[in-house]
Amino acid sequence: MTPADSKIDAATRLFGVFGDPVGHSLSPVMHNAAFRTAGVNGAYLAFRITDIAEGVRAVRALNMRGVSVTIPHKVSVMPLLDALTPLARNIGAVNTITNDDGMLEGDNTDAKGAADALARQTDLNGKRVAILGAGGAARAVAFGVKEKGARVTILNRTVEKGESLAAALDAAFLPLTDLRPDRYEVLINTTPVGMTPRIDAMPLPETALAPGMVVMDIIYSPLRTRLLETAEQRGCIVVDGLGMFVGQGAAQFERWTGKPAPLAEMTRRVAEALTPS
């Protein structure tokens, strides 16, 4: 199917993102571009959902094929589904619902999205990976890189929260202020520090960045965070938040359609949407 053929008809399957807010979500642009490129008869919309139980009932009532779940519903959606993948259960959060003939399965593709984006730059097996932050995003990223054989250290401002995540992962923990550059080959920021509008902020001092390190930021607004700018100046290899975002979306696309995701086109369309015209 070419883009010109991509009309909505009686066979079109409905997809969407459930969150609050969702007004700035890039998922519709990314998934609709993927559907058109791969010839999938689907339509993907953003739904501002305040009551997630009602949202899940809508998936069943409308026979939606797939839903992306975002803040604040990633945990509260779990008991409303019929099945969870082992990874979603381990991470304790769902970002993907797939409707297989009325059976709703919850999965988490954030882990794979992050790990695949990094793995395009470096083999993670045996690498020492420092993860800044201990929230839901850190948890997904940590499970993803661990699955590829990385040795994870969690660094967090609040000690108890960091220790608790490290214990769940069987990983090491250090307070954020104890970061030493020579101890890690990979560093990943999962905190919101540096996100729009406070774009001048850095989650760590620049002396924590050593040449040759792979530095990833999961923030994608802005795409070039101060952390990544500084890391690049200091001779690090940088991976921006687009990689993880498109990676989690690509894994959703493949689960929903059974087709390989058109990664290049998805990346291009999201980058375009992020670039002010």
Stretch that binds ligand ATR, among 55-63, 117-125, 132-140, 237-245 (CB under 6 A): 132-140
From candidates 13, 128, 157, 224, binder to ligand ATR by CB under 6 A:
157
Q: Which is nearer to ligand ATR, 42 or 222 (CB)?
A: 222
For residue 16, what are its two tokens? 């969407």
Residue from 56, 129, 131, 193 binding ligand ATR (CB under 6 A):
193
Per the CB < 8 A criterion, the answer to whether 268 and 236 are in contact is: no
- Spatial contact of 46 and 27, defined as CB atoms under 8 Å apart: yes
233 binds ligand ATR (CB under 6 A): no
Question: x/- string (CB under 6 A) for ligand ATR, residues 197-216?
Answer: ------x-------------
**Structure-token match 């959902």, residue found:** 49
Q: Which of 25, 190, 230, 257 binds ligand ATR (CB under 6 A)?
A: 190
Considering only 125, 158, 207, 233, the residue that binds ligand ATR (CB under 6 A) is: 158
Half-sphere exposure of residue 74, counting CA atoms within 13 Å on the CB side? 19
Distances (CA, A) of 41 to 111, 249, 254: 27, 17, 14
| 134 part of the interface to ligand ATR, by CB under 6 A | yes
**Cis amide leading into 197 (omega within 30):** yes
Q: Does 135 help bind ligand ATR (rule: CB under 6 A)?
A: yes
In 170-240, where does DSSP find H-type helix? 226-233
Is position 74 annotated as part of the catalytic site?
A: yes
Sign, Cα dihedral of 225, 226, 232, 235:
negative
Show contacts with ligand ATR in window 46-105 (CB under 6 A): none
CB nearer to ligand ATR: pick between 137 and 250: 137
Q: Shortest Cβ distance from residue 205 to ligand ATR (Å)? A: 12
Residues 225 and 196: their CA atoms lie apart, in Å, by: 9
Q: Which is nearer to ligand ATR, 108 or 156 (by Cβ)? A: 156
Residue where the block lists tokens 């550059």:
181
The CA distance from 106 to 68, in Å, is: 10
Please state whether 161 falls in left (phi above 0), alpha (psi between -120 and 50) or beta.
alpha
Which of 74, 112, 146, 148 is labelled catalytic? 74
Which residues form the catalytic set?
A: 74
Residues that bind ligand ATR (CB under 6 A): 133-138, 156-158, 161, 190-193, 203
